[in-house]
């Protein structure tokens, strides 16, 4: 337990972390990887280069400091991060190493000595937070379908659009596949020719659970260059082997009788399609509105698959093309607007699920809040380091 004095000291660092947090975490990662390059096998190198990972860690530190007197309030964020840790193989023995380098980065960046009350208080706090992560992740490892990365065979590779391929995976050992929750993801472990370290990426499962395969639908990323997505598109084919971790993630659809609203931007359709299929199977009478915002028809992945599912009168599928090739394509032209969004929404209370690029989700989130939708009705998933949409309203 932290003493009252330690909690007061940590609370006093909130404005310091707000100003210098990213500098601290950037220094932390730089020194950690310099001394322990083997950890580069676990981390997304692109997120390091763009600064997204240091920003995400700085945000987590800020949240911990702001809620130090009630750490239970950040448990949902802890669980979200813990899912990713379990998915990529973070283990208990990694936490002391991280703690040592994080405290050293604080000392160096803030000009403090090792016996400064701030460093001592944060050392105590880190120990408590690390123990929470270790316990949560231990339970997740025990509940996972398997440990580590399991060999799969690519049973099929299907072109979905100019930018998206679907990959179907079946166990190389012929064993069964555990069920997953619609909305969850798997991690791909890629040993790419010419690359010194392994690359691990998370991809949402895009098909319904209960089949003899897992499916992911991958967009080729070019800005920044998607090392793993390009590898999958260009070098992985049917009958090749690929290694994946057991399904993880807490962005899952809730069983409810209220209408379900799914809003995707681009390839953000993938976890929502899995949710859509499950609801169609388990709650066939539940009203569903599926809104897809896509650049144009050429990059509209999985479109026909969703279209076929909307045969019932209580299912609505709405497509917004920002720059359509054909003037008659889609239901709306241009970017999604508050007026267009309002026309899709039901009068009664509903559950909303968002997935897509961060700017898209922030825009839709703001529009929903402006339309009177409560934040506890809105769930969303980031394709990248865990962060939270800004409460602008």
β-partners of residue 216 are 167, 205
Q: Assess contact for 117 and 13: CB atoms under 8 A.
A: no
Cα 385 to Cα 324: distance, rounded to the nearest angstrom: 31
In the set 62, 109, 137, 380, the catalytic residue is: 137
Question: Which tokens hold the place of 183?
Answer: 């909305």
Q: Assess contact for 306 and 294: CB atoms under 8 A.
A: no
Please spell the DSSP secondary structure of 186-200, one letter per residue: EEEEE--TT-SS-EE
For the four alpha carbons of 291, 294, 296 and 300, in that order, the dihedral sign comes to negative
For the question of residue 137 being annotated catalytic, the response is yes
Whose structure tokens read 């050429």? 298
Q: Three-state DSSP class for 98?
A: helix
Of 66, 56, 68, 65, give the one whose Cα is nearest residue 25: 56
Q: Which helix (H) or strand (E) holds 380?
A: strand 378-381
Whose structure tokens read 């241009």? 334
In the set 62, 95, 165, 276, the catalytic residue is: 95
Question: Which tokens hold the place of 110?
Answer: 């803030």
Of 347, 288, 345, 282, give the one whose Cα is nearest residue 312: 288
DSSP 89: T
Cα 199 to Cα 49: distance, rounded to the nearest angstrom: 14
For the question of residue 95 being annotated catalytic, the response is yes
β-partners of residue 242 are 152
Task: List Cα–Cα distances, 368 to 228, 344, 353, in angstroms.
Answer: 34, 11, 11
Name, in order, each residue with C-beta under 8 angstroms of 264's C-beta and a sequence gap of 6 or more. Answer: 272, 290, 291, 292, 293, 354, 355, 356
Q: Which residues are identified as catalytic?
A: 95, 137
């Amino acid at each position: 337990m932290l003493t009252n004095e330690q909690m007061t000291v940590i609370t006093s660092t909130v404005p310091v972390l707000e100003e210098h947090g990213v500098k601290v975490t950037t220094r932390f990662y730089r020194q950690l990887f310099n001394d322990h390059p083997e950890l580069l096998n676990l981390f997304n190198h692109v997120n390091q280069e763009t600064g997204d990972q240091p920003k995400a860690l700085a945000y987590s530190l800020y949240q911990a400091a702001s809620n130090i007197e009630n750490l239970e309030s950040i448990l949902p964020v802890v669980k979200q991060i813990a899912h990713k840790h379990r998915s990529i193989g973070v283990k208990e023995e990694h936490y002391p190493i991280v703690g040592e380098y994080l405290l050293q980065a604080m000392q160096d960046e803030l000009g403090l000595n090792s016996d400064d009350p701030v460093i001592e208080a944060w050392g105590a706090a880190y120990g408590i937070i690390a123990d929470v992560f270790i316990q949560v992740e231990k339970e997740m490892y025990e509940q996972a379908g398997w440990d580590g990365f399991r060999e799969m065979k690519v049973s099929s590779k299907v072109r979905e659009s100019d930018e998206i391929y679907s990959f179907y995976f079946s166990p190389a050992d012929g064993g069964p596949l555990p069920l997953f929750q619609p909305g969850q993801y798997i991690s791909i472990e890629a040993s790419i020719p010419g690359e010194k370290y392994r690359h691990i990426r998370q991809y949402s499962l895009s098909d319904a659970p209960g089949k003899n395969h897992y499916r992911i639908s991958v967009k080729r990323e070019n800005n920044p260059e998607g090392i793993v997505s390009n590898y999958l598109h260009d070098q992985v084919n049917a009958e090749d082997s690929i290694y994946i971790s057991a399904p993880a993630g807490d962005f899952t659809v809730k069983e409810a009788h209220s209408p379900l609203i799914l809003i995707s931007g681009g390839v953000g359709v993938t976890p929502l399609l899995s949710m859509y299929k499950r609801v169609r199977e388990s709650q066939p009478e539940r009203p569903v509105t599926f809104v897809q915002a896509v650049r144009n028809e050429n990059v509209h992945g999985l479109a026909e698959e969703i279209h076929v599912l909307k045969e019932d009168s209580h299912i609505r599928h709405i497509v917004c093309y920002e720059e359509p090739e054909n003037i008659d394509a889609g239901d709306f032209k241009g970017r999604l607007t508050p007026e267009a969004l309002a026309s899709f929404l039901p009068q009664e209370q509903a559950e909303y699920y968002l997935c897509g690029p961060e700017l898209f989700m922030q825009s839709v989130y703001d529009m929903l809040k402006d339309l009177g939708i409560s934040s506890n009705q809105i769930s969303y998933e980031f394709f990248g380091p865990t962060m939270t949409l800004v409460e602008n309203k």
